[in-house]
Amino acid sequence: MNRLLFRARSVSNFVFVLLFAVSATQASHAQNSGRRLLISVAFKTDNPYGNSPAMSGPDAAANVANPLFAAANVWNNLQANYGVLNTNPSWSDLVDHDGKPTGVNFSINGTVVATDFWPWVSNPDQLRSPFILWNSFTNGGGAAGPGESTRITWTLTGLPPDTTFDMCLYGSYADVDRGFDMTIQGVTMQIPTFNNANTAQPNCVLFPHVTSDARGTIRGVGAGVGDSTTAANEADWSGFQLVEGGHRAGLKSGFFRAITH
């Protein structure tokens, strides 16, 4: 009788523990399902003369555009080879703002060059001093020689399907003021480059309400403007941030700048 009672209690305790574990797992899944996806990307390279520090933490300009970007902690510091032609580069399994893998992939269709102005500028910026570039010296004579694209296309895959995001895109601090055109889902805006000899304030260009398709994909096109045979119209892209949902009422697209002192 005692053995039967012991077994009954043991089975009862096992069922309780099992139900508790299932309940805890369901609660964890429910919490994760309510989590906003935030992915931050900075383009980096291996400049032998010196490199900007890895990017981390919130960016002031993006926070002005949408306060949800303030949750940024961990960034994806994506590496491309310095000073040479990088054709169709891609990066897999980007992490979110806490460093957790997301299964999101990012790829570029085109040929770009990577550089980092950190060692040479009077006002370096860990996000905007390094960048990928295209639409320059397509006839040779500079940069990595002939072969750069005059326009690129990029793709994000592995996103939640049919989901709306805000994207903030970063131009660079380079040698002169210039910019390039970025088109996302039919909207085209200029992404500016600022002369690093000046004290440019942190800035980004916001594309609000960008929606992934049924397969969880977002695409964009970066087009150089004007003559591509010199560096006068070079396209310089330093990175971007992507945050899910939570749009402010009256949120506007376009250029945002954070005033710092």
Q: Based on the domain organization, do 222 and 135 belong to the same domain?
A: yes
> Over 90: is that where the pLDDT of 136 sits?
yes
3-class DSSP string for the chain: CHHHHHHHHHHHHHHHHHHHHHHHHHHHHHHHHCCCCEEEEEEECCCCCCCCCCCECCCHHHHHHCHHHHHCCECEEEECCECCCEECCEEEEEECCCCCEEEEEEEEECEEEEEECCCCCCCCCCCCCEEEEECCCCCCCCCCCCCCCCEEEEEEECCCCCCEEEEEEEECEECCCEEEEEEECCEEEEEEEEECCCCCCCEEEEEEEEECCCCCCEEEEEECCCCCCCCCCCEEEEEEEEEECCCCCCCCCEEEECCCC
> Over 90: is that where the pLDDT of 200 sits?
no
Q: Based on the domain organization, do 127 and 205 belong to the same domain?
A: yes
Mean pLDDT, range 95-115, rounded to an integer: 98
Report phi then psi at 248, rounded to 5: -70, 150
pLDDT for 198: 79
Q: Based on the domain organization, do 131 and 29 belong to the same domain?
A: no
Higher pLDDT, 260 or 170: 170
Please write the tens of the pLDDT for every residue from 137-195: 998 887 788 899 999 999 999 999 999 999 999 999 988 899 999 999 999 999 999 98
Residue 59, domain extent:
36-257
Q: Based on the domain organization, do 236 and 193 belong to the same domain?
A: yes
Domain total of the chain:
2
pLDDT for 251: 63
Q: Based on the domain organization, do 76 and 25 belong to the same domain?
A: no
Q: Based on the domain organization, do 68 and 18 belong to the same domain?
A: no
Mean pLDDT, range 38-48, rounded to an integer: 97
Q: Based on the domain organization, do 8 and 130 belong to the same domain?
A: no
Q: Based on the domain organization, do 169 and 120 belong to the same domain?
A: yes
Average pLDDT over the chain reads 85
Q: Based on the domain organization, do 57 and 11 belong to the same domain?
A: no
Query: Among 247, 248, 244, 217, which Cα is nearest to 35's?
Result: 244
pLDDT for 249: 53
pLDDT for 28: 32
Mean pLDDT, range 232-249, rounded to an integer: 87
Q: Based on the domain organization, do 135 and 248 belong to the same domain?
A: yes
Q: Based on the domain organization, do 120 and 9 belong to the same domain?
A: no
pLDDT for 227: 92
Q: Based on the domain organization, do 205 and 102 belong to the same domain?
A: yes
Please write the tens of the pLDDT for every residue from 51-102: 999 999 999 999 999 999 999 999 999 999 999 999 999 999 999 999 999 9
